[in-house]
Structures are given as C-alpha cells and as structure tokens.
Structure 1
Amino acid sequence: MDGAGVTVRRAAAGDVPTQGAAEEWIMWMDALPQAVLLTRAGVVTRVNAAAARLWGVPQERAEGRPVLEIVRRHTLEALLERGGELELEVSGRTLRCTATRDDTHSALIVEDVTEHRRREAELREATAVLSHEFRTPVAALRGVLEALEYDMPQELAQNFVRQGLQETERLARLVEDLAVGFRPTRARTLPLAEAFARAERLLAPELLARQATLSFGPDHLVRADPDKLLQVLLNLIENALKYGPAGHPVDVQTAGRGTWVEVCVLDDGAALTDTDSLFRAHTRGHSATGQGSGMGLYIVRSIVQGWGGQTWAERRGQRNAFCFTLPGVSGLGG
C-alpha cells in the first residue's frame, strides 16, 4: 500500500494530473484494491471504485458532500481531521484505515486486512499448540532415560528403548510441522510416483498394523518441493488410516486440471461435517479419538497455499476425499 499511499497523498494535496492524463489517473485510482476517499476543507472531492462499493455511494453522489455523510462514522471523520492510522471491526471485517492531511486537503485509505489478521491469529495458535505438544514426548523421553539408568531385565530395557524411539519419531514430526512455514522452498520437477513411493515406504509399518492397502492413481509430472510434498501426502494418508475403518483401502487418486494436478486421498470413514473448518489450526474431526494436536490439515493447507494450490474436503459417494492441487508439468500422465 506504500506506493499507492504516496500517490494518493499527492493527489489529496492537489498534485493531480490535468487534461489528458486525468482520465488515466482516475482509472488507476479505480483499479486500487484499497478504498480511497479524498477531501478538501472537509468536503469529499473524489472516491474511487472500492470506496464507492464500501460505503455504497458512487462518485457522482459523493462529490461535494461532507465527509461524515459518506463514511457515516465519527471515528473516521476524526481520523481525517488529525491524520494517523487505526483498525476498525465492521460487520465481521477488519479494516485498516490510514489518513493523511495538510492544511486543506486530506486522504483516507481503507484496506480490508481480515484475512491477514486471521492468518496471524492462526499462526500464533499453531505455535502455541505445537509448543504444548512438545511437552508430552519430551517428558516421555526423560522418563525413559531415567529408567534406563537402572539395571533391569533385557526385555524390559528393550521395551523402554522402543518407547523412546516412538517418542523421538513423534518429536521429529512435530519439528517438521513447526518448520513448515520457515524452510526455504527447494522446488523441482518430479513425477508424483517418486513422492508416492517415499510415502508408501515410510507408512509401511502403519499400513501393516491397520491391515490396510494403499493404491495410487496415474503418474503426473509436477513442480514442488519434494520434502514438503511428502509431508502433505503423509499427513493426508495418516489421517485416512486414523479415521477410516481398519482393514479398508486408502486410495490416492490423481487427475490433470489444466495447468494443475489434483491429488485426492479417499477413505471409508464416517461422513464429514463442516469441512471448511477442518483445515484450521487446532481443529479435529468430530470422530477424532486418542492423541492428536489437530494440526495435520492446517499444516497441509499451509504448504499447499505456499505453492499457490488449494485444499478442500468433500464426500464422494460413500467415501471422504481430502484433496489438494499443485503445479503440473505437461508431458506425463496427461
């Protein structure tokens, strides 16, 4: 918004192009995503298209009217008079309002930062949740190490070692989840089959324990960070194994969608409800049992959004489908 703000402030002070350039300047103002209102001596001189939508008053009706009649909030009228910045909550939206002025001219720039504030809140919550989740494996590892200081039968000692390894693996996964948003992306072109093979190999013990089978759809060339793609697949397939009935298959379907590739993990779990909330931080399905931070799908969405893709969940026939898209590379698998 800084570049736009500088230009708007110049416009508010009367530094507006004249003659042939005026129409181009108006078109530029109307193209801004921020709502912009310009005044002179407390009277509106111009509103751009975003401002007309925000306050429901077109330029022809706004021009020449007192500021308060347009913005309908004394808070914004006062902000224009003194200059500065504030945030307002209006009808469930968060608006960042910035005002600048000189002796006679002023400008008000209003930007919808609702999504930005929501993501900030989710990040804070995610960090708090993961920090809390670290306590359990750390405490368990401490207990294992303290127990191994004493002499005990070999079989009992091996049980403690196995428990310690399980907690170490859990701790490693938590570290991976925490690092998702901060690791640099190392994208390359790779066949999906490469990521599928890695996921199947790592999930082999869990598949055996659940007596489940895992199948994959046609291969496609994609552009992604192999490690982050693997993490998405592991989270979704583990989710399907956890919430689907034991002994039932998990299918990973693939399809080309223009320049994107769609990947969906299907399971036979109970029908989903409120699918939109499942990808939020610290959210678990209504049938969730046992341990879990509710971070898996949030991590999935964070990674997928990082490469510009989308995530969603839906019911396909009698099965649940957890889907994401990633950039495709033409030449393999349609």
Structure 2
Amino acid sequence: MTAGPAPRLGAWMDALPQAVLLFRPTDTAPRTATVTWVNAAAARLWGVAPERAAGRPLLEVVRRHTLEALAERGGELELEASGRTLRCTAVRPGEDGEGALIVEDVTELRRREAELREATAVLSHEFRTPVAGLKGVLEALEYDMPPELARNFVRQGLQEVERLARLVEDLAVGFRPTRARTLPLADAFARAERLLAPELSARGARLTFGESHLVRADPDKLLQVLLNLIENALRYGPPENPIEVQTARRDSWVEVAVLDHGPPLEDTEALFRAHTRGRHATGQGSGMGLYIVRSIVHGWGGQAWVERRGGHNAFCFTLPGVAGLG
C-alpha cells in the first residue's frame, strides 16, 4: 500500500480547499477499497485524522454508500449533507492502482445561482408594466387623434421610458429603493389608474381611492407596489366588482390597503414567498408579484400583509408618512 503522494505534492494538496482522498481497491474484495491518504480538507470534512484514515476501509471514512459506489464506478454527483451541497468527483484507479475521490463544497455557488434566478424573475416582473404601458401608447398613436390627446400619450410614453431607464440603472445597485422623495399618495394613485385604465375597462371594474396622504417613498417603487396589488385584485377577484384602495394614518406611518371581493385566502403568509401563487390562481403567472411587493416595502422599513376585512381580502402595506399635506 502506498503512503500517498510525495511530501512536496502532499503539502500542495493540503492547501487545496477541495477534500482529496486517495484509495486503492483491495485484492480480496474488488468492490471495497482502502484509504491510502487524505488531505487536510478531507480530514476536516470527515472528521478523521490523516494518520488514522490511512489503511481504513473507504466506507468507514466517508460513511456514505453513495460515495463508496461513486469511487467504484467513477464520475460525478452532487449530494446534500448537513445542509451543505457537495460536488463529488471520483477518478478510478490508474496504472499505479490508486484512485481519487475529490469533494468540493459548492453551497455558496448554488446559493448565488439561486439568487441570480430569483433576480432574473424579479426583473422580468418589474419590466413587464412599463413595457405594457409603452405598447399601449404606441398602439394608440397609430390612429388619428386631436393634437392635445396625442401629446398626452407621448408624455405617458416618455414616463414609461424613464421608468425603464431607472430600472436599467437599478441593475447595478440591486432592488432597494434609492430615489425616495416626498409625494402625495394621490400622484401615485393617478399614475396607477391611468396605466390600468384599459384592464379596468375590459373587466368592467370600478377603482376607487381613499384620502391622499403625504408620504416618503421612491415613486416608481410605490407605483410598482400599487400596480401589483390592484392587478391581483382585478385578476383573481370576481369580474365587475369594485376594487377599493383605502388609506389611513398609523402614527408616523401611512397604511394602504387594496380590497377585493375574492374568496377567503388560506396561508396568506406563504403568498409572499417567491414563486408562490394562491390556490385560486389561474392562467400564467410567475408567483413573484407579492414577493416583490414585500421586498420593496421592507426596503423603506414598512410591512406588507393580507387580512380579511368583512367580505373582502385586504392586501395591506405601510410606508413612511409626512405630517400634513402642505
């Protein structure tokens, strides 16, 4: 049995972040193998001193039949162990009769990949509204109309282009609000109603807003929250039923609630998780709307939740208020 790699090579392998285990199949039992050497990372991973690992059966050291089978056949696999994701590679014995098992902790890599997928879904959802607004404007401008009406459509289109430009800029800094300013809620309500007018008309729904309050928020992020909540009420509530947006001052905060006539919801907290849709949801959807709502609201220090108010589902959020309406 070999004593492992030469001292200089062994020192180099001890510096590797990957766990490296060398093994040799036994002559008496071809399906078993004996450990000949482990590097420092392998000793930490399997909790065994290098001098105690050498000469022991492979299964006694790695304590997983999956890894024993991998060492026998060679190849790669990923497995979950104690909350970590491990990428395992086995090199079958070569001419010298020695094989290798290499294990790398890729937990952080997989976490970053999941965050990237989530960020992509968020971006897709956030870009959808201004793109839809621009499409509506361009379709309207195909027809002859009074100059003043055409100018109004152009102004609306420019607003959506500005939103798109700001979203592109946000790619460099993440999804937190960065342009908070003081504004009356009525401004955000008016923008939301204008953008949702075609869908409101198509569904025969009426939208009403409560009292305006002066608040401190990123106007585009606030609009995104309102659009997500009102669109949910339109799509998942009964057709031709009114949608009400209520407002109330709560100490130094302002509460906004979007009320629909939909059936009672179960496990409302789960609705705010990424890629989650309600039991009554139909059609296509990413399940990201309420996740985005809560992420934005938490960004300015507020809260987002769902409660039952009488015969309505109330999708609520809070945002910083400013005393008085000036």
TM-score, length basis structure 2:
0.51
Cα deviation 1:11-41 (Å, max 9, x = unaligned): xxxxxxxxxxxxxxxxxxxxxxxxxxxxxxx
Which position in structure 2 is the counterpart of 1:64? none
- The 1:176–1:245 alpha-carbon spacing in structure 2 relative to 1, beyond 3 Å, is farther
Q: Partner amino acid for 2:185?
A: L
Q: Distance in 1 between matches of 2:309 and 2:180?
A: 31
Which position in structure 2 is the counterpart of 1:310? 303
Which position in structure 1 is the counterpart of 2:272? 279
Q: Distance in 1 between matches of 2:300 and 2:203?
A: 32
Tell me, yes or no, if the aligned pair for 2:260 and 2:314 is still in contact at 8 Å: yes
Gap runs ≥5 in structure 2: 1-44, 49-80, 84-110, 129-142, 144-159
Which position in structure 1 is the counterpart of 2:244? 251
Which position in structure 1 is the counterpart of 2:314? 321
Which position in structure 2 is the counterpart of 1:83? none
Structure 1 residue 132, shift from structure 2 partner = 8.6
Tell me, yes or no, if the aligned pair for 2:176 and 2:296 is still in contact at 8 Å: no
Q: Partner amino acid for 2:269?
A: D
1:233 to 221, 226, 230: 226
Structure 1 residue 124, shift from structure 2 partner = 4.2
- The 1:188–1:276 alpha-carbon spacing in structure 2 relative to 1, beyond 3 Å, is same
- The 1:199–1:215 alpha-carbon spacing in structure 2 relative to 1, beyond 3 Å, is same
Cα deviation 1:257-315 (Å, max 9, x = unaligned): 00000000000112111111111111111111111101111111111111011100111
1:207 to 200, 203, 227: 200
- The 1:120–1:245 alpha-carbon spacing in structure 2 relative to 1, beyond 3 Å, is farther
- The 1:326–1:242 alpha-carbon spacing in structure 2 relative to 1, beyond 3 Å, is same
Which position in structure 2 is the counterpart of 1:126? 118
Gap runs ≥5 in structure 1: 1-74, 79-88, 93-118, 137-157, 159-168
Structure 1 residue 330, shift from structure 2 partner = 0.7
1:268 to 261, 270, 291: 261
Cα deviation 1:49-84 (Å, max 9, x = unaligned): xxxxxxxxxxxxxxxxxxxxxxxxxx9xx9xxxxxx
SS of the aligned residue for 1:331 comes to coil
Q: Distance in 1 between matches of 2:298 and 2:254?
A: 14
For residues 183-222 of structure 1, the aligned pairs below 5 Å read 185-222=178-215
Q: Partner amino acid for 1:282?
A: H
- The 1:120–1:236 alpha-carbon spacing in structure 2 relative to 1, beyond 3 Å, is farther
Deviates more, 1:314-323 or 1:121-130: 121-130
Structure 1 residue 204, shift from structure 2 partner = 0.3
Q: Distance in 2 between matches of 1:307 and 1:195?
A: 16
- The 1:184–1:308 alpha-carbon spacing in structure 2 relative to 1, beyond 3 Å, is closer
Tell me, yes or no, if the aligned pair for 2:260 and 2:312 is still in contact at 8 Å: yes
SS of the aligned residue for 2:321 comes to strand
Q: Partner amino acid for 1:126?
A: E
SS of the aligned residue for 1:329 comes to coil
Tell me, yes or no, if the aligned pair for 1:198 and 1:230 is still in contact at 8 Å: yes
Which position in structure 2 is the counterpart of 1:165? none
For residues 1-334 of structure 1, the aligned pairs below 5 Å read 123-127=115-119, 129=121, 181-182=174-175, 185-332=178-325
Report which of the two structures shows the higher radius of gyration computed on alpha carbons.
2
- The 1:283–1:122 alpha-carbon spacing in structure 2 relative to 1, beyond 3 Å, is farther
Which position in structure 2 is the counterpart of 1:4? none
Structure 1 residue 129, shift from structure 2 partner = 4.0
- The 1:122–1:278 alpha-carbon spacing in structure 2 relative to 1, beyond 3 Å, is farther
- The 1:201–1:133 alpha-carbon spacing in structure 2 relative to 1, beyond 3 Å, is closer
- The 1:262–1:130 alpha-carbon spacing in structure 2 relative to 1, beyond 3 Å, is closer
Structure 1 residue 179, shift from structure 2 partner = 5.0
Q: How many residues get paired?
A: 193
Q: Which runs of 4+ in 1 moved over 6 A?
A: 119-122, 131-134
Cα deviation 1:230-254 (Å, max 9, x = unaligned): 1110010001101001100110000
SS of the aligned residue for 1:303 comes to helix
Structure 1 residue 128, shift from structure 2 partner = 5.3
Q: Distance in 2 between matches of 1:177 and 1:287?
A: 34
Q: Distance in 2 between matches of 1:231 and 1:131?
A: 12
TM-score, length basis structure 1:
0.50
Structure 1 residue 222, shift from structure 2 partner = 0.2
Q: Distance in 1 between matches of 2:311 and 2:321?
A: 29
Q: Distance in 2 between matches of 1:176 and 1:286?
A: 31
- The 1:185–1:211 alpha-carbon spacing in structure 2 relative to 1, beyond 3 Å, is same
| Percent of paired sites with the same residue | 68
Structure 1 residue 183, shift from structure 2 partner = 6.4
Structure 1 residue 326, shift from structure 2 partner = 0.2
Q: Distance in 1 between matches of 2:125 and 2:224?
A: 18
Greater helix share, 1 or 2? 1
Q: Partner amino acid for 1:127?
A: A
